[in-house]
């Protein structure tokens, strides 16, 4: 964040305005955090879980994609699959309505095992695609994601095929029933906030800076002694951790998981979320997720209300995505940055 800001002020040419803006930025995030913490006092359970909770979870999974794509230059389509695998694993090792498959281990065994398996898968996927360059990543990870989707669809012995699993409650621990909407909301908020802060921290830590170096010029990084492949694989492992936690929360929120959860459409939607939000800053993932969730929840009704066919939701998503890719490749963040830069340069000019 700090880096991009210094760069931006240099371009904008208004150095004196930099410090207060930096504080203002922090102020905005802190204010947002405060609003989110106090939200349960005013919002209904529907808004809490189905809008904000879902946004935060999708934002987390998109954040893992943003981390890889924005800082590492690797557009990995396997993140939704990592989340889905973690979700499936927690139902297989933990509780569900299917005693023939689920092992009913306690959550504090099931959740770590699920996370470890998902992270191992994400790291392996990274190791496979990190050896190839650039655009190949998208092909390989898309193929892996689709393979997982068809596997969940066809396999009945572990993934219960087309039906998937239902009744996967969040556990009870620390004396709190995390199934209840408010408790679950705080659980989600905690992990989303934690992963946001961690990604921001890592982006400025030596590892994150080296990763951004491998994105900009892998050859030069190799020449000055960095192991580029190892950095990339480590980035995949970290991103998989975020996605896996998001996947488990998603299952607890929806109380079900099926092949569609990590299907091809969901995989692509996740990329749409990350790109529309913007790959330049971690907040973009959450912005994209919010737009997606609001569209998904209300677009059907509003489309019908203005006399259009509500089933054309995907066309709207696709067209919106196309407009963003064609006219603002850095997403909503880019739009906002350009807009604020223009506003600043105009106010800078007007006194003269």
Least spacing, CB of residue 157 vs another protein, in Å:
6
Least spacing, CB of residue 58 vs another protein, in Å:
17
Least spacing, CB of residue 256 vs another protein, in Å:
21
For another protein, which is the closer residue by CB, 15 or 309?
Answer: 309
Helix, strand, coil distribution of the chain in percent, nearest 5: 75, 0, 20
Least spacing, CB of residue 129 vs another protein, in Å:
8
Residues found near another protein in the complex (CB under 8 A)? 75, 128-129, 131-132, 134-136, 138-140, 142-144, 146-147, 150-151, 154-157, 264, 268, 271-272, 275, 309, 311-315, 317-319, 321-322, 325-326, 329
What is the C-alpha separation between 234 and 119, in angstroms, rounded? Answer: 11
For another protein, which is the closer residue by CB, 202 or 274?
Answer: 274
For another protein, which is the closer residue by CB, 161 or 213?
Answer: 161
Reference 237, options 120, 134, 128; nearest CA is: 120
Beta strands at 172-173 and 165-166: parallel, antiparallel or unpaired = unpaired
Contact between 244 and 256 under an 8 Å Cβ cutoff? The reply is no
Contact between 133 and 76 under an 8 Å Cβ cutoff? The reply is no
Helix axes 54-66, 79-93, angle to 10 degrees: 130
For another protein, which is the closer residue by CB, 160 or 195?
Answer: 160
For another protein, which is the closer residue by CB, 100 or 346?
Answer: 100
For another protein, which is the closer residue by CB, 160 or 203?
Answer: 160
What residues contact 20, with CB distance under 8 A and at least 6 apart? none
Least spacing, CB of residue 134 vs another protein, in Å:
6
Reference 152, options 143, 161, 144; nearest CA is: 161
Least spacing, CB of residue 27 vs another protein, in Å:
33
What residues contact 312, with CB distance under 8 A and at least 6 apart? 303
CA angle 135, 332, 204 (to 5 degrees): 70
């Amino acid at each position: 964040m700090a880096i991009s800001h210094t760069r931006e002020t240099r371009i904008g040419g208004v150095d004196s305005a930099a410090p207060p803006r930096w504080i203002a930025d922090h102020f905005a995030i802190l204010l947002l955090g405060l609003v989110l913490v106090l939200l349960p006092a005013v919002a209904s359970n529907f808004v809490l879980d189905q809008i904000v909770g879902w946004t935060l979870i999708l934002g987390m999974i998109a954040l893992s994609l943003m981390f890889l794509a924005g800082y590492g230059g690797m557009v990995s389509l396997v993140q939704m699959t990592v989340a889905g695998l973690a979700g499936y694993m927690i139902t297989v090792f933990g509780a569900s309505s299917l005693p023939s498959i689920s092992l009913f281990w306690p959550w504090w065994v099931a959740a770590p095992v699920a996370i470890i398996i998902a992270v191992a898968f994400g790291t392996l996927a990274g190791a496979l695609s990190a050896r190839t360059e650039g655009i190949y990543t998208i092909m390989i990870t898309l193929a892996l994601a689709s393979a997982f989707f068809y596997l969940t669809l066809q396999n009945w012995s572990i993934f219960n095929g087309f039906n998937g699993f239902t009744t996967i409650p969040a556990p009870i621990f620390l004396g709190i029933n995390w199934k209840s909407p408010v408790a679950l909301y705080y659980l989600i908020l905690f992990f989303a906030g934690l992963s946001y802060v961690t990604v921001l921290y890592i982006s400025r830590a030596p590892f994150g800076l080296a990763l951004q170096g491998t994105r900009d010029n892998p050859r030069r990084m190799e020449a000055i002694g960095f192991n580029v492949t190892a950095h990339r694989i480590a980035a995949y492992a970290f991103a998989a951790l975020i996605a896996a936690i998001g996947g488990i929360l998603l299952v607890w929120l929806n109380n079900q998981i099926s092949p569609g959860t990590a299907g091809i459409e969901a995989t692509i939607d996740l990329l749409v979320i990350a790109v529309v939000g913007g790959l330049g800053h971690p907040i973009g993932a959450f912005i994209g997720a919010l737009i997606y969730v609001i569209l998904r929840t209300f677009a059907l009704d509003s489309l019908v209300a203005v006399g259009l066919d509500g089933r054309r939701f995907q066309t709207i998503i696709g067209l919106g995505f196309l407009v963003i890719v064609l006219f603002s490749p850095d997403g909503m963040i880019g739009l906002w940055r350009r807009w604020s830069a223009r506003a600043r340069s105009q106010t800078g000019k007007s006194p003269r």
